[in-house]
Structures are given as structure tokens and as C-alpha cells.
Amino acid sequence: MTTLAAPTPTHLKEDPWEMARSQLRRVAELIELDDAMLNVLSECKKAVVVSIPTRMDGGGVEVFEGFRVNHNVARGPSKGGIRYHPGVTLEETKALAMWMTWKCALMGLPFGGAKGAVVCDPKSMSLGELERMTRRYTTEIINQIGPEMDIPAPDVGTSPREMAWIFDTYSMNKGYSVLGVVTGKPLQVGGSLGRVEATARGAAFVMREALRKLDQPVRGRRIAIQGFGNVGRNLAKILAGDGALIAALSDSAGGVLNAAGIDVDSAIAHKAEHGVLSGLPGTEPVTNDELVLVDCDVLAPCALEHSLTAENADRVKAAIVVEGANGPVTPAADMILEDRGVLVLPDVLANAGGVVVSYFEWVQGLQEYFWKESEVNAKLNDIVTGAFAETWRLHEERSVSLREAAYALAVGRVAEATTTRGLYP
């Protein structure tokens, strides 16, 4: 039996948990949050670490490490994705859970924030190994999740497939199907139309509203997108369909560049055939580090945390940064971009479309009544554009960044709910 230790996480350039808490402390001063409330919101309600022994195809057993973290439940049950990545850490999972709390509050959803993770490389595992690991992980955290307690969803390295396994494992243990235990499920087992594209669609809605404030159309804008997973791929498709020019794309292995525009459908087909974007005909190679610095109107980091740091933020050429990923801009980079007049659309606003439609799926599952895709997209647009309008209004009234405005609204709502409920006992 082999226990797998977490390798050094190469994508994390600073402590994400301290980064998340520093963002909270900064907004606490802005909204004059008292020390007692800051102490409460600065900590996670619960963090569970589990070992996940898994039978591998070769007959041996490897033991993976898994986490499930609940940050806050003042506004309702916690909600958050499950990440499979070889470099994920408990501190990163805690930060992601905190960001989920603010994201749900900003969108006005009756959820708190949570996050789960397994330290593994899903790309190197067989389908059978992934299923056995996922089902064992679900069993290990089964007392932590539930439709009225904590509702997982997909994240980096997971998909509707893994959500179906979690749904089935949980339901088999309960003895009946529990549609609301997880969101992001396949349509055949209670998923929602529009869920797969929801995070990207929400980002596109926010970008559209920001450009409208600047009196600029989406059509003709040059877009660079880092990350070609669910968010980056669908964002590229949506924006290209709106007439934007996709100048650069990348996946974990590297990227491609064409100043005249990349054909997104060709990029998707090439990725499906070869497993990487590299070598796409009609493009030049570009690294992930180079992609964030290409000449473009809008940069959308849709991969992992810490794409923009103090080391490269002063060389970003984009006028707008859309945080399709969670935490891609460090606090130091934030200040540099703000000083340079770069408009950053923060993650708690820009990539909240996924949790919004996860909420819709949860509601549909509880009611066992499902909506048309046009209804889902229309409701998503209403919520996301409403949150953008509130954030922009505070941004102008207080002369603060959009991140500070978004956090001020979100943290204020969670603090108000905490005060209203009181401390027990």
C-alpha cells in the first residue's frame, strides 16, 4: 500500500489562504467591520482531512489525501466545487471556500462557501481508478455533505462524470436518490440545462456590462484566454460567437497565438484530437507566462491561481482583466493594475455564473421540476447583471476598485446574517 504525498505546488506563488484573508482585512477597514466579526469571518467553520485508499488497476493500493472545507453557513448550506489536482493543498482549499462565501453572498444566493479537493493527477489515472477514488472520497466525507448541509459541484479536474459518481454513492448509502446532494450532474440524472457553460456565460455577461460602461462593443475586442478547460473553452466559444477576436489561447501544456484571430472550433477539434493546443495550424506557440502579457483588449485568466503577480502585472497590456479562475491576481498585482488603470473584474463577480446555475440545479432537484435552457440563461443574466450593477454603483460612489466594491457588498451581507442569527450558545 502506497501513500501519496502532495508534491510541491508549482502554480502557487504565495499562500492562498493568507491572500484570501488579506483581501478580507482590506475590505474590513473599508466597511468598518468590527474586530469580533472579522475574527469570525477570518476562520473556516470546519475543515476535514481524509485518507482515500484506492485499488489501482495494477492490483496495488494507493492512498490519496482529500479535503472538505466549510467556511461559513450564516446564509444557508455551504456550496463549493471539488478539485482534483496534484498540487492542491489544504490552505488553497480553505481560500477557495472563503471566496465561495463571498461569491454566493454577492449573487444573493442562500448559500455559504465550501470547497473540496483530492491531491491526485487525474490525467494519469484510468477511468476505473478515478471512479473508485471518487466513490471512496465520497464515502469518507458522506457525513459532511447533503442537500441541506453542503452541496459539492465540479471544479478543476472534475466534471459531470465525477458528480454522477458522487450522487450515486451518496444515494446508495441513503437508500434512495437524493438529487440535491450535488450539482453539475449530467442531464440524465438531474443536471440542469446550461450548467456546463454557466461559469463562462456569466463571465461573458460581466465583460459585456463592463465594456458597455466604457462605451465599447464586444465585437472586435481582442481577447486572450489562459486555460482551455470548461471555463476557458466555453468563454472562447461564447465571445467568438459575439464577434470578439480570440487572439490567444492556452492549456496546461502551453498556448497558441494569432493576432488576426484563432478559429475556436478548430482549436477545440485540435485539442480533442491531440490532447494539447500546441501545434494548432495557423498559430504561433506561446507559453502560459507569455500569454498574460500579449497585446490584447481583454485578458481572461481561466486556469489556476496566481497568474498575475508583482513580477508581471506591470507588463500586462490588456485594459480589462476578467478573472475566470479563482484568485488569478495576487493582492500585490491588484494594486499595480489598479495604479495603471487596468479594470479588474474580480472572480467573486466574474466567475459566479457556475454557482448561480448550480443554485438553479439544486432548486430544480428539490422541486423535481426542470426548466428550459432559455429560462436558465435568462435568470442567470438577471442575477449576474444585477450583481454587476450593484458593484459598479458602489465602485463609483466610494471610488474603490471593483474587487473592493464586490467584497464590501458580499462581506457586509454575511456579517449582517451572522449578526442577525447571533452566536450559539
Whether 377 maps to a domain, the answer reads: no
Residue owning grid cell 471555463: 231
Residues 83-97: tens digit of each pLDDT: 999 999 999 999 999
The CATH number assigned to the domain holding 332 equals 3.40.50.720
The three cell numbers locating residue 362: 439544486
Give the contacts of 232 (CB within 8 A, at least 6 positions apart): 200, 225, 226, 249, 300, 302, 303, 324
Query: What is the pLDDT, as a whole number, of residue 425?
Result: 86
Q: Do 169 and 204 share a domain, yes or no?
A: no
Whether 413 maps to a domain, the answer reads: no
Domain coverage including residue 214: 198-345
Query: What is the pLDDT, as a whole number, of residue 235?
Result: 97
Q: What is the mean pLDDT of the chain?
A: 94
Q: How far apart are the first and last CA of the chain?
A: 45
Q: At what angle do helices 373-398 and 402-421 cross, to 10 degrees?
A: 100
User: What does R_g of the chain's alpha carbons equal in angstroms?
Assistant: 21
The DSSP letter of residue 194 is T
Residues 302-345: tens digit of each pLDDT: 987 788 999 999 999 999 999 999 889 999 999 999 999 999 99
Whether residue 365 is predicted with pLDDT greater than 50 in this model: the reply is yes
Which of 314, 345, 376 terminates a domain? The answer is: 345
Whether 424 maps to a domain, the answer reads: no
Strand ranges across the sheet with 343-345: 284-286, 254-257, 245-251, 222-226, 298-301, 320-322, 343-345
Give the whole-number percent of the chain exceeding pLDDT 70.
97
Residues 200-223: tens digit of each pLDDT: 999 999 999 999 999 999 999 999
| β partners of residue 152 | 80
Q: Residue range 228-240: average pLDDT?
A: 95
Whether 350 maps to a domain, the answer reads: no
| pLDDT band of 7, cuts 50, 70, 90 | very low
The DSSP H or E segment spanning 323 is none
Which of 177, 212, 242 terminates a domain? The answer is: 177
Q: Do 173 and 209 share a domain, yes or no?
A: no
In angstroms, the CA 319 to CA 14 distance is: 25
Are residues 302 and 227 in contact, defined by beta-carbon separation less than 8 angstroms? yes
C-alpha distance from residue 337 to each of 131, 213, 288, 328 (Å): 42, 19, 19, 13
The CATH number assigned to the domain holding 122 equals 3.40.50.10860
Residue owning grid cell 435568470: 379
The three cell numbers locating residue 378: 435568462
| Total of domains in the chain | 2
Q: Do 317 and 245 share a domain, yes or no?
A: yes
Q: Do 152 and 113 share a domain, yes or no?
A: yes
Q: At what angle do helices 127-140 and 160-174 cross, to 10 degrees?
A: 50
Q: What are phi and psi of 257, to 5 degrees?
A: -135, 135
Q: Do 220 and 101 share a domain, yes or no?
A: no
Q: Do 158 and 46 share a domain, yes or no?
A: yes
Whether residue 13 is predicted with pLDDT greater than 90 in this model: the reply is no
Whether residue 9 is predicted with pLDDT greater than 50 in this model: the reply is no
Query: What is the pLDDT, as a whole number, of residue 5?
Result: 46
Which of 223, 178, 227 lies closest to 199, judged by CA?
A: 227
Q: Do 58 and 173 share a domain, yes or no?
A: yes
Query: What is the pLDDT, as a whole number, of residue 220?
Result: 94
Q: Do 63 and 164 share a domain, yes or no?
A: yes
In angstroms, the CA 195 to CA 70 distance is: 23
Q: Do 24 and 148 share a domain, yes or no?
A: yes
Q: Which of 94, 115, 185, 237 is catalytic?
A: 115
Residues 396-424: tens digit of each pLDDT: 999 999 999 999 999 999 999 999 999 99
Query: What is the pLDDT, as a whole number, of residue 8?
Result: 45
Which of 91, 88, 182, 195 lies closest to 144, judged by CA?
A: 182
Q: Do 212 and 321 share a domain, yes or no?
A: yes
C-alpha distance from residue 69 to each of 16, 112, 115, 186, 255 (Å): 14, 11, 5, 24, 33
Residues 374-396: tens digit of each pLDDT: 999 999 999 999 999 999 999 99
Which of 120, 145, 177 terminates a domain? The answer is: 177
Q: Residue range 65-69: average pLDDT?
A: 98
| pLDDT band of 361, cuts 50, 70, 90 | very high
Q: Do 316 and 244 share a domain, yes or no?
A: yes
Task: Assess whether 379 carries a catalytic annotation.
Answer: no
Which of 311, 305, 417, 403 lies closest to 26, judged by CA?
A: 403
